[in-house]
Structures are given as structure tokens and as C-alpha cells.
Structure 1
Amino acid sequence: MSQATKENSAPGRAGGQPRISMVEWFLPFLVSWGAEFFFRVSIEAQIWVINAVFAGSFFAYWVRRESYLEKLYAATLLEENAPPPQPTPEAFGTTDGAVKRRKN
């Protein structure tokens, strides 16, 4: 049995079967109820449902995209307005902050 299966299995279950989440347990019911609804309603209602699902998924995508673009824009503004980088002590060959002078 793999490590992932050991971590995901409930103690005392036969054969170390993995636990399933509530969503995984409930998904077949949702699919069957959705299919039953879909075949019992009119074509017009089916089109409305398909459009609503499409619009909802597009809206979720748009919200995520806008959030990403805002973060990207804010990061760009921070980079543009950032002060120039200061040299570190390591650039001068020391780590204690003292500047070594060059011998001529």
C-alpha cells in the first residue's frame, strides 16, 4: 500500500480503503438528479440552464482573471516606483559591512 493510501485511509477499515469526501459521495446523486431534471423539462428550460451554467463559469473566470491582472498591475507599479537597489556588503568582498580598499 502506498504512503498516500495509508495517510488517506481510515483506521480499522477493511483493506485500507481510502476515505471519500462528502462531495465525492454526493456527486452521483447530483448528476442523476441533474440528468432527470434535464430530461423532464422543456427545451427552452434546458437552454436557460445551459446559458446560466456558461454565464456563471465565464463570470468566475473573469473574476479570477481581473484579480490576477490587478495583482500583476500592482506588482508592476511597485517595481516601477521602487528605489534603485543598494549595493550589499558582499559586493565589496566583505560580509561585516566594512569596505575593503584596493591596494595600488
Structure 2
Amino acid sequence: MSRHFFFTAMLFVYGRILSQQLVNTVTSDKFLYRLVSNLIKYQMVICYFLYIAGFVWFILSLKKRYYKYQFGQYAWTHMILIVVFTQSAFTVANIFQGIFW
């Protein structure tokens, strides 16, 4: 389940950063251009529904006598994702802006 949240967070963060570069890269093929531009257009909605699906999966997988452990793992997963993706998103954004030391 933590991998699901990892890939959802990765799609959210890097999809926002790399969206313009992807559209500029695939402009030669019309089908691929339409596919990528539609994916970028609905990227936030896709990420939202993926996160909601992961949350429902978490709720459905809860077991009695393990609530404290399971919610602890859920919290740790999200805290680690916030720390890792915040730093890496700012680093990648700085690289694309040309502010690289």
C-alpha cells in the first residue's frame, strides 16, 4: 500500500513539473501529442482518484487489534512522502529554472 501512495505522489509531483517539457518533446507525433496533452490536462484528477482509491484500500484493509499499528504506518508513509518529495520537487524545479549550484 505504501508503494501505491509513493507512485501516486510521484505522479503528482513530477507530473506537474515535467508537464511542459513532455508536451514540447512529443510534438512531432499527433496521436502521442494528443495522448500526452490529455494526460497532462487531467493529471490532477487522475492523482486525486488514485489517492482516494489508496485511502479506500487502506480503510478496507483495517483489522481489529491492529488499528494503532496500521494508522501509525499510514502516518509514517505520508510523513516520509512529504519529506522526500518536497525536497526532490524543489531540486528538480531549480534545475529546470537554471538555478543549479
Larger Rg: 1 or 2?
1
Same fold flag (TM > 0.5): no
The TM-score by the shorter chain falls in which range? 0.3 to 0.5
Higher RCO structure (Cα 8 Å, ≥6 apart)? 2
TM-score (norm 2): 0.36
